[in-house]
Amino acid sequence: MATLEIGSARKAFPALKSGYLYADNAGGSQCLGDVVSRISDYLLHTNVQLGADYFVSVNSTNRVASGAEAARELFNAESVDEIVYGSSSTMLVENLTRAIEADIQAGEEIIITGEHESNAGPWKRLAARKGAVIKLWPATQLPEYPNNPYAVGLQLDTLKPLITGKTRLIAFTACSNILGSLLPVEDIVKTARALAADAGVRKLEFCVDCVAYAPHRQIDVRRWDVDYCYFSFYKVYGPHTSVMYVHTPALTGSLTSLGHHFLDVDTKPYKLQPGGPGYELVYGCTGVPPYLRSLTPSGTLEDAWAAIATHEQALLEPLLEYLRGKTERGVRIVGEEQAGLGRVPTVSFVVVGERAIKSRDVVSAFDRKGNVGIRYGHFYAYTLVDMLEPKVDVNDGVVRISLVHYNTVEEVKRIIGILEEVLA
């Protein structure tokens, strides 16, 4: 099995040379030096409008097209014509709901989760406009942890009863940005499609949030058999831009164009992309796949993601072990308590009981130490945090420590050392 050479990986990120410990990676990873160089080179040498016949425009057009190919590779999509760029994930889903509006009928049902609002809020607004029905697939207590009411997750058995003959779309996350849990996307889609077919649905589609998934595991929209899928490149070592996969049958059969009326875009991603994306950012994204391929001798994305997953478990295990050992102190892990390939190193917890500590006060202690960054709050998964029982203050939320492959075991030890002082 391929292993990650952490020293080499870290050299690709100029920000890491400062020695600062970045542990808020689910909020945004550090950017590859090569990505920054590509953005700069685009702006300095090919900053012209696309589509003209002169040399610089041809070069610029090809560079932006290569950005679509980079995203296609990371999604494992069939065609670059299934790739849509946008300013943010939330904006992309909002555009999607506007484009799909004409194909949603009153009384049809949209199932959402309480995870990040990017894949919930736009669907709620669409349902209000169209007279559709919103159903919540809630995170419920995991049976493996009967003594921890905060050990919750999205479970397939909880989804099944929500599916009826009126189900039109299911919007869920592939990985929770609070819980760190990975969902079996392929199994969920297969099960839901079978139940929906038996119930006689008119049409069923899936929109999968991969923002918290993409930095940790390989996306495979073809194997998953999903219709819409998205992530933010700034969470995956790139610039602040986002990208969405739209399966060709959905593009042509479910969506109306948001583009200018005179453009023939029925089979093109411009259907969901009114105006052009930030060209320099799209080109900058081409630096991400080569970096991932450089992480292992084979040069394949499959081996790179496998090496990343293995290294991340080495980061995750000691942190979870430490937090589990602080149960008597009032520490409760929010989500799955054990490491494993079904979990990424995004770890949330609360401190409750007689010696409760506000999440903001835990983070303040880290801030006073300096040279390390973690965060507290609901992280836009407002509904999930608000539904935790016993109740937590949703605005104080949880403490979240989120690590990625460029973090080290030594950094985890530094984090644990600070926690020891806070929880003394």
Question: Which whole-number Å values give the CA distances from 301 to 68, 220, 400, in the listed order?
Answer: 17, 12, 28
3-class secondary structure, 150: coil
> pTM higher than 0.85 for the full model?
yes
Whether the per-residue pLDDT at 24 is higher than 90: the answer is yes
Q: What is the mean pLDDT of residues 356-374?
A: 97
Q: What is the mean pLDDT of residues 330-338?
A: 98
DSSP states along 19-76: --EE-BGGG-PPPPHHHHHHHHHHHHH--S-TT-SSHHHHHHHHHHHHHHHHHHHHHT
Decide which of 410 and 264 is more confident: 410
Q: Please compute the mean of the pLDDT values over residues 7-14 and round it to a whole number.
A: 97
- 63 phi and psi, to 5 degrees? -65, -45
Q: What percent of the chain has pLDDT over 90?
A: 95
* pLDDT band (50, 70, 90) for residue 165: very high
Residue 380 pLDDT exceeds 90: yes
Which band of pLDDT confidence, cut at 50, 70 and 90, is reported for residue 223?
very high
Residue 315 pLDDT grade (very low, low, confident, very high; cuts 50, 70, 90): very high
Tens of pLDDT, residue by residue over 65-123, are: 999 999 999 999 999 999 999 999 999 999 999 999 999 999 999 999 999 999 999 99
What percent of the chain has pLDDT above 70? 100
CA distances from 285 to 32, 33, 219, 274, 281 (A): 10, 12, 16, 20, 6
For each of the domains in the chain, give its residue range(s) and CATH number, in order of start.
6-31+297-422 (3.90.1150.10), 55-290 (3.40.640.10)
The chain-wide mean pLDDT, for the chain, equals: 97
Please give the average per-residue pLDDT across 312-327, as a whole number: 98
- For residue 373, is pLDDT > 80? yes
Indicate if the pLDDT at residue 220 is higher than 70: yes
Does the pLDDT at position 1 exceed 80?
A: no
Asked whether residue 2 carries a pLDDT value surpassing 80, the answer given is no
Tens-place pLDDT, residues 40-64: 999 999 999 999 999 999 999 999 9
Q: How far is CA 229 from CA 177, 192, 205, in A?
A: 16, 17, 11
pLDDT score of 39:
98
Using pLDDT thresholds of 50, 70 and 90, give the confidence band for residue 265. Answer: confident
